Amino acid sequence: MQAIDLVAVSYLNTKPFLEGLYTYFPQDAPAQGYQLNISLDTPARCAQKLASGEARIGLIPTAQIPFVNNATIISDFCIGATERVKTVCLYSKQPLERIKTIHLDYQSRTSAQLLQLLARYHWQINPQFMPAPAHFEQELDNLDAFLIIGDRTIGLEARFEYVYDLAEHWVNFSGLPFVFAAWVSTGELSDNFLTYFNQSLAYGCSQRELVADKWKHLYPDFDLKHYYQKAISYELDAAKKAGLKLFLELSANFQPQKNLF
């Protein structure tokens, strides 16, 4: 039996993938000698585990792909967006032009990098960026402006006057979708394994309504069906590949503030 360590993002947006990996993959792959050891973590930690060799496959933030040795995208599925997603946002007590300082969520460098690119090239503002302190989620009312991602954003739009959805603003800026995370491997994988793996992801995505029903009890006021069917776009198609290419090109030519992480 070939055991392969896989790390994936622990947020709601990954649940359809996990549905496939936990229910579809075990149906046939073990008979062919494949076993997945799945662990869940924050986006930043997923990238670290892949880079360190703790995992062989990872759903990692796209900004980290150039910094992982031998990184190869192995799937035509991703965590992407063609419109607002509501779970990657800048929240502020002031309008954009009056923001002086923005605290950045430590859980994903892709979102932090995207925010800095939008500030420079789209909004044309020049705030000071600072790393958010540990457990800053519990002290949000004390911050003037901050980036926060994932499930922790749910319900925050009611608490802050100004909310800027990063995916929506990227689409307005570039005319292209955005890719937050992609499936990446650092080692060679057989075609047979990749077939099972991608069939599992496809199956999970086909079960999005079931997944929404399964998890809606945790977030009764959040429209999970819309989130899975519209807000998050899971296919890594040609338009998303173009958006990813542009994001990586802009990032390569951009010098962010130092000591943010």
In a domain? residue 196? yes
Say yes or no: 9 and 44 in one domain. Answer: yes
Predicted confidence at residue 256, as pLDDT, reads: 56
Structural domain span for residue 202: 2-81+177-242
Query: Which pair of structure tokens corresponds to residue 201?
Result: 């992801």
Same domain, residue pair 93 and 197 = no
Same domain, 99 and 165: yes
Give the least confident one: 109-113, 199-203, 223-227. Answer: 109-113
pLDDT attached to residue 136: 84
The domain boundary residue, chosen from 174, 189, 218: 174
Total domain count, the chain: 2
Distance CA 70, CA 34 (A): 22
Render pLDDT for 49-67 as a digit per residue (tens, 0 to 9): 999 999 999 999 999 999 9
Of 144, 56, 62, which is closest to residue 111 (Cα–Cα)? Answer: 62
Same domain, 100 and 145: yes
Q: At 187, which CATH number?
A: 3.40.190.10
pLDDT at 259: 45
Average pLDDT over residues 78-99: 95
CB 63 within 8 A of CB 110: yes
Instruction: Using the 3D structure, point to which of 174, 201, 224 is the last residue of a domain.
Output: 174
Q: Evaluate whether residue 148 is within a structural domain.
A: yes
Is residue 121 in a domain? Answer: yes
If asked whether residues 21 and 135 sit together in one domain, one would say: no
Residue 201 inside a domain? The answer is yes
Average pLDDT over residues 2-23: 95
**What pLDDT is attached to residue 29?**
82
pLDDT in tens, 224-258: 999 999 999 999 999 999 999 999 999 998 765 54
- Are residues 151 and 112 both part of a single domain? yes
- pLDDT score, position 140: 86
Task: Tell me what the mean pLDDT of segment 26-34 comes to.
Answer: 85
Shared domain for 184 and 69, answered yes or no, is: yes
* DSSP-assigned states of every residue in the chain: -EEEEEEEE-SGGGHHHHHHHHHTHHHHGGGGTEEEEEEEE-HHHHHHHHHHTS-SEEEEEGGGGGGSTT-EEEEEEEEEESS--SSEEEEESS-GGG--EEEE-TT-HHHHHHHHHIIIIIS---PEEEEPPTTGGGGGGG-SEEEEEGGGGTTGGGT-SEEEEHHHHHHHHHSS-EEEEEEEESS---HHHHHHHHHHHHHHHHTHHHHHHHHGGG-TTS-HHHIIIIISEEE--HHHHHHHHHHHHHHHT--PPSS--
Q: Mean of the pLDDT values across residues 124-145?
A: 86
Segment 152-177 mean pLDDT: 94
Cα separation values, 196 from 23, 33, 184, 255, Å = 12, 11, 15, 40
Nearest to 203 by CA among 73, 40, 77: 77
Task: Kindly state whether residues 48 and 103 are assigned to the same domain.
Answer: no
